Chain A
Amino acid sequence: MLLQVDGLGIHLSGKPVVKGLGFHLDAGELLVVLGPNGAGKSTLLKGLAGEHKIAGGQVMFDGQLMTGWSNRDLAKQRAVMPQRVEVNFPLTVEEIVRLGRPPEPLAQSMPILMELMELLDIAHLQHRLAPGLSGGEQQRVQLARVLAQIWDAEGPVLLLLDECTSALDPAHQQHVFSLLRRLARQRGFAVLAVAHDLNLAARFADRLMLLHQGQVHIEGLPSEVLTEGVLAEVYGLSARILELEEGYPLVIPRDDAHKPGYSWASFSRLAPEKPSCRQAS
């Protein structure tokens, strides 16, 4: 067991945001954390990343209390991708990716930097300044930086990724998640990724963990977690679930209009178009 979390509690300005949360993560596993806005996903991830103080419970990493690790040692085994990283200074893509590397001569990091920039499809942006890039490109640059940190790590590796594909186009989303799964399978990385896209999660995750009000609502295989009942209960989302022959479920949300007691017609501005509007335009 690479990561073992028991009874974890995290308070933000006095309010409990994560309550008695427990789960485990093995080497070689891709666990996707789902949940509605405010469920405590990011707080959990930041707690594991050492940004928030842990109010209760314990986190064991590689058989040792997480708090017992030194900053420096932990940075060699654990890399974190925050939800947003803004770069205001004229750093090039290559320089940002290199920030993930420990102090070493450029010639030594160069092969790793090139490999990662190729992998994340940013090699053509190598010498561009990061502030001029699109949101999705910047996100891939950050991901490359995060991977650079543990690319040649010896021993266990834990990746904590907070919505690492939120700004990417569908093709790059698929690409990144399939890369993450390959890293888990082939190199034994333990990956904990917070995400919102249910279908992306279902397609690539080994296990899903659905958070609700700071606790684990349900955890298990995609087909166990993504059921109509669970989605309605946690998200208030009415959806149809298709079990694909590829072996994972597909979530198709229904129009809100189908939800009882909820109707677009009750919003006057969204009422069916009037002829006068058409004439005006």
Chain B
Amino acid sequence: MQGCWRKRGRLPVQLIDGAGRLAKGPALLIILGAAFAVSAVSVTSGAYPLSAADILAVLKGELDDDIVSMVLFDVRLPRLILGFLVGAVLAVSGAILQGLFRNPLADPGLIGVSAGASLAAIAVIVLGGTWLGGWLDLAGVWALPVAAFAGGSGTVFLAWRIARRAGQTSVATLLLAGIAINAIAGAGTGLLTFYSSDEELRSLTFWTMGSLGHAAWDDVVMAGPWLLLSLCAAPFLARPLDAFLLGEHVVGHLGYNADWAKRAAVLIAGLGVGAAVAVSGLIGFVGLVVPHLVRQALGAGHRIVIPVSALAGGTLLVGADCLARVVVAPAELPIGLVMALIGGPFFLLLLLRTRIV
């Protein structure tokens, strides 16, 4: 048969179409099921296990247990929501940037967002007691996330300004500027690490490895709107991004405003990732692996890739967060570490099994 030139596991034949892809309906059901399952696990498991019966009783108002309701409403729920939003935004930003750069290996770290955000956050941690004391007094508990957000969006803006010449944004220059900014921010981070005290070092290491451990409603309120905004705006980019897959000029030939699309893409990814890094630190791999998997399974059209990546990214991050809590309970592993531990080998396996296009 023509379509079977690419072998694909042992899945039933009717699930796979001519291009070796999953049928969209069943795939969506699987992902929704997984999202529901990890959410349930995420709410119940952790240092203080909750049973499903307890949760239902509290929700119905039959059980009046302060500890159960506190753990559920003040710890687990904000963590679940934030984890899902962050995972979704990281995956969608990855999908957008890969489309924009026409490179399946691009990720949100590439245009300098993560590096800028972490530099700003680490500066607050290390210099908070000295030079940046005024900022701490002014911003209080918001000092770290706001700085990270500003650092992330600031670097994107900088990279974008550098790439802009004579009213046109060069994607190649944007990429190179991002790499240079990454290097500079990395050096700054290294320098600050060098001058940090032991206690600061501990706190910043934890931050660079990513964590949802401090997630509270404050974080949801602060980052939520930006994360949601970025998620809601992304689907509008689907058609121009499809055109980008054929090349930058083709976008214009097909009647879209390429420059507008580039600006929107960088802005959406920058704001989203900036907000994500601000509340959860550096979490890699989601932005790279999730869109890649979705493309392999369902095709590269962005009308599918963007929403499905959002669902799958959220699911993956919440799942990884469950693992991070359970493996060394009552302590927690940094979620960035867990992601890299799962994501890395899995990605390698994928590379060995399928041809990469």
Contact = CB atoms under 8 A, between A and B. Distances in A.
Interface of A: 46, 49-51, 71-76, 79-80, 82, 85-92, 95-96, 99-100, 102-103, 124, 126-129, 131-132, 142, 145, 149
Interface stretch (B33-41, B247-255, B282-290): B247-255
Contacts of A92: 18-19, 299
Given A91-B299, A95-B301, A129-B357, A100 B19 contact: no
B8 interface: no
A128 B247 contact: no
Given A51-B252, A131-B357, A89 B18 contact: no
Contacts of B247: 82, 85-86
A142 B243 CA distance: 12
A85 B2 contact: no
B214 interface: no
Interface in B230-266: 239, 242-243, 245-247, 249-250, 252-257
Nearest to A49: B253
Contact of B19 (A50, A73, A129): A129
A149 B250 CA distance: 12
B5 A89 contact: no
B246 A99 contact: yes
B104 interface: yes
A86 B104 CA distance: 14
Nearest to A160: B253
B18 A49 contact: no
B106 to A, nearest CB: 11
Instruction: Indicate the size class of the contact surface on chain B.
Output: 20 to 34
Contacts of B196: none
User: B104, B253, B296, B357: which has the most chain A beta carbons within 10 Å?
Assistant: B253
Contacts of A82: 247, 249-250, 253
A75 B103 CA distance: 26
B3 A127 contact: yes
Given A88-B357, A127-B3, A128-B2, A95 B299 contact: yes
Contact of A85 (B18, B246, B301): B246
A88 B103 contact: yes
Closest 3 CB pairs of A and B: A75-B255, A127-B18, A89-B300
Given A90-B296, A127-B18, A51 B255 contact: no
B242 A127 contact: no
Given A103-B239, A129-B357, A131-B357, A89 B19 contact: no
Nearest to A80: B253
Contacts of B325: none
Interface string B1-41: 01101100000000001111000000000000000000000
A90 B300 contact: yes
B76 interface: no
A126 B18 contact: yes
Contacts of B243: 99
A74 B295 CA distance: 31
A91 B102 CA distance: 13
A84 to B, nearest CB: 8
A76 B357 contact: no
A99 B256 contact: no
A71 B258 CA distance: 10
Contact of B257 (A71, A76, A128, A149): A71
19 contacts: A71-B256, A72-B255, A80-B249, A80-B253, A82-B249, A85-B247, A87-B246, A88-B102, A89-B104, A91-B245, A92-B19, A95-B299, A95-B301, A99-B254, A128-B2, A128-B19, A129-B6, A129-B20, A132-B357
Contacts of B19: 90, 92, 127-129
A49 B254 CA distance: 11
Nearest to B244: A89
Interface string B292-308: 00011001110000000
Contacts of A142: 246
B175 to A, nearest CB: 14
A89 B255 contact: no
B357 A50 contact: no
B246 A71 contact: no
Contact of B245 (A46, A79, A87): A87
Contacts of A126: 18
A109 B253 CA distance: 19
Contacts of A99: 242-243, 246, 254
Given A76-B255, A127-B3, A91 B300 contact: yes
Nearest to A88: B102
A89 B356 CA distance: 9
Contacts of A75: 253-255
Contact of B252 (A50, A91, A102, A145): A50
A91 B243 CA distance: 12
